[in-house]
Amino acid sequence: MPVVSFRLPKELYEEYLKLKKTVNWPEYLRQAVVKEIERQKRLKAMEKMDESRRRTA
């Protein structure tokens, strides 16, 4: 599985560490990425439908 990394501001990282034992961060972030990808696909599909409606109107 490919690895994705990113930087956090120090204050946010400290909060992340406090929650590390109670939050499964890798799983949480994977789910967040999946949800955003699905949301973007829906938006793109809606834009295509809108464009199609404009052309036929």
**pLDDT tens figures, 5-27:** 999 999 999 999 999 999 999 99
Task: Compute the distance between CA of residue 33 and CA of residue 24 in angstroms, rounded to an integer.
Answer: 14
The stretch 17-44 carries a mean pLDDT of 97
Q: Cβ atoms within 10 A of the Cβ of 30, count?
A: 13
Q: What is the pLDDT of residue 5?
A: 95
Q: Return the pLDDT at 22.
A: 98
Q: Is the pLDDT of residue 57 over 90?
A: no
Which pair of structure tokens corresponds to residue 9? 């501001």
Enter the pTM of the model. 0.78
